[in-house]
């Protein structure tokens, strides 16, 4: 799709706001979904006059992670553009990833006599993790000209970024996990899967040895097991793909990180959804496209808290007039995937979509909900079609063919 779009792009002064209520879609509990439970007078009114439908994030029956979920609504085929575990971990910890970087996630683990006795080092306390991670960073800053960045996570988790002096080949991070996934085995060697990965594997081997030396006197956390070696996917950015100057308005590092992968500006931001909207308004003159991310809807879904998730949706509904005041040419309200409180997890279900634009039928849905959106003019469509729809509705796509 993006290949076709690229040749049709024309620029103008229109504005697009894409609001992602993370994990928006749900399932009925006592007959009503979270969206059907929430008080949403503003969203309902918008649904009545807008184009509505549901998008399938990745594919029929496929439950997306946050990475593929966002790539899809940003118009990138999630099958084509994989985001490695190491990259996501580093993004989630707030690291800025570059084309020169190989990222990996590690476990602090316990190794005795060359054999793993605890893959998670007894789930050491987070504070302790951060203390020994600082120790590692003090001792190890550079290996063979490669900068090494350690970032401690929760409990036994730690991310490492290896920053090379030059950009890497796309397959340079294809290195086998050193974690054998079982206690009682020896850690594996960091084996390169291809020629381009060999120089990386050499540095990894030295990294393992040096960290082992630093950690050797620790009782539990005396070894790092490594997984998810990955580098930055080579995605055409929003400017290149769509001719859009794009801003991410998100308070969670991972979502800013995902937005950065597709070339959005991602200034750090803290605060409530109200603060996010205020920030968007401040920056409204400077960009064409705004990705507004609302995290908490998903969090309550993951906790199985129907009323909590509904309440977050209601809160957003109350703030919606502030977005409408801006009168963007296209306003999209959707999610990156469903997180039914019933399932306490992401799910495969299609995600409701409102697309406000002057060029729609409207009048098909009486409210904003999964079941009402089924009656809408957009039908059930692949998530990657959302960006072409946004561009078309801002008259940013030329005619195809004569």
Residues at the contact surface with its own copies, assessed by CB under 8 A: 1, 4-5, 8, 27-28, 31, 33, 58-68, 78-79, 82-83, 85, 88-89, 340, 342-343, 345-349, 359-364, 370-371, 374-377, 379-382, 385, 388-393, 397-402
Q: Which of 393, 18, 81 is nearest to 72 (CA)?
A: 81
Q: Which of 301, 368, 375 is nearest to 336 (CA)?
A: 301
Three-class SS of residue 334? Answer: strand
Please state the closest distance from residue 128 (CB atom) to its own copies, in A. 25
The residue count of the chain comes to: 402
Three-class SS of residue 62? Answer: coil
Please state the closest distance from residue 62 (CB atom) to its own copies, in A. 5
Q: In this complex, which beta carbon is closest to its own copies, that of residue 128 or of residue 348?
A: 348
Q: In this complex, which beta carbon is closest to its own copies, that of residue 151 or of residue 390?
A: 390
Q: In this complex, which beta carbon is closest to its own copies, that of residue 220 or of residue 260?
A: 260
Positive or negative CA dihedral for 246, 250, 252, 255?
Answer: negative
Please state the closest distance from residue 377 (CB atom) to its own copies, in A. 6
Q: In this complex, which beta carbon is closest to its own copies, that of residue 149 or of residue 342?
A: 342
DSSP conformation letters of 372-393: HHTTSTTEEEEGGGHHHHHHHH
Please state the closest distance from residue 247 (CB atom) to its own copies, in A. 22
Q: In this complex, which beta carbon is closest to its own copies, that of residue 318 or of residue 374?
A: 374
Please state, in angstroms and as integers, the Cα–Cα distance from residue 145 to each residue in 96, 149, 203, following that order: 19, 13, 10
Q: Which secondary-structure segment (H or E) carries 355?
A: strand 351-356
Q: Which of 213, 103, 202, 222 is nearest to 143 (CA)?
A: 202
Q: In this complex, which beta carbon is closest to its own copies, that of residue 92 or of residue 263?
A: 92
Please state the closest distance from residue 117 (CB atom) to its own copies, in A. 27
Three-class SS of residue 224? Answer: strand
CA angle 313/315/317 to nearest 5° reads 70
Distance CA 387, CA 397 (A): 11
Distance CA 248, CA 266 (A): 5
Please state the closest distance from residue 157 (CB atom) to its own copies, in A. 13
Q: In this complex, which beta carbon is closest to its own copies, that of residue 278 or of residue 380?
A: 380
Q: In this complex, which beta carbon is closest to its own copies, that of residue 102 or of residue 116?
A: 102
Please state the closest distance from residue 50 (CB atom) to its own copies, in A. 12
């Amino acid at each position: 799709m993006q290949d076709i779009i690229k040749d049709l792009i024309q620029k103008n002064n229109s504005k697009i706001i894409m609001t992602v209520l993370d994990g928006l879609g749900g399932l009925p509990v006592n007959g009503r979904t979270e969206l059907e439970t929430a008080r949403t007078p503003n969203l309902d009114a918008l649904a009545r006059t807008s184009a509505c439908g549901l998008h399938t994030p990745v594919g029929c029956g496929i439950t997306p992670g946050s990475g593929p979920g966002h790539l899809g609504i940003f118009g990138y085929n999630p099958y084509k553009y994989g985001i490695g575990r190491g990259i996501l971990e580093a993004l989630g910890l707030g690291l800025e990833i570059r084309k020169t970087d190989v990222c990996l996630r590690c476990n602090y683990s316990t190794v005795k006599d060359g054999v793993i006795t605890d893959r998670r080092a007894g789930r050491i306390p987070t504070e302790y993790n951060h203390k020994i991670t600082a120790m590692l960073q003090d001792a190890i800053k550079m290996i063979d000209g490669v900068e090494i960045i350690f970032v401690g996570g929760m409990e036994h988790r730690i991310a490492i970024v290896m920053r090379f002096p030059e950009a890497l080949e796309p397959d340079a991070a294809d290195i086998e996990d050193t974690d054998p996934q079982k206690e009682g085995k020896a850690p594996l060697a960091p084996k390169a899967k291809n020629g381009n990965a060999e120089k990386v594997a050499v540095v990894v081997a030295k990294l393992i040895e040096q960290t082992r030396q630093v950690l050797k006197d620790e009782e539990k956390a005396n070894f790092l097991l490594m997984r998810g070696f990955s580098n930055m996917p080579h995605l055409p950015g929003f400017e290149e793909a769509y001719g859009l100057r794009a801003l991410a308005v998100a308070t969670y590092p991972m979502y800013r990180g995902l937005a950065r992968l597709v070339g959005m500006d991602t200034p750090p931001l803290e605060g409530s959804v109200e603060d996010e909207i205020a920030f968007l308004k401040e920056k409204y003159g400077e960009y064409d496209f705004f990705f507004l991310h609302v995290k908490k809807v998903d969090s309550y879904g993951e906790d199985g808290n129907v009323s909590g998730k509904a309440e977050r949706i209601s809160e957003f509904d109350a703030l919606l007039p502030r977005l409408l005041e801006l009168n963007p040419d296209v306003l999209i309200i959707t999610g990156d995937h469903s997180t039914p409180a019933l399932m306490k997890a992401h799910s495969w279900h299609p995600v409701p979509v409102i697309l406000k634009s002057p060029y729609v039928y409207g009048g098909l849905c009486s409210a904003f909900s999964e079941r009402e959106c089924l009656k809408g003019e957009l039908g059930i469509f692949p998530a990657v079609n959302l960006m072409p729809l946004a561009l078309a509705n801002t008259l940013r796509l030329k005619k195809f063919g004569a």
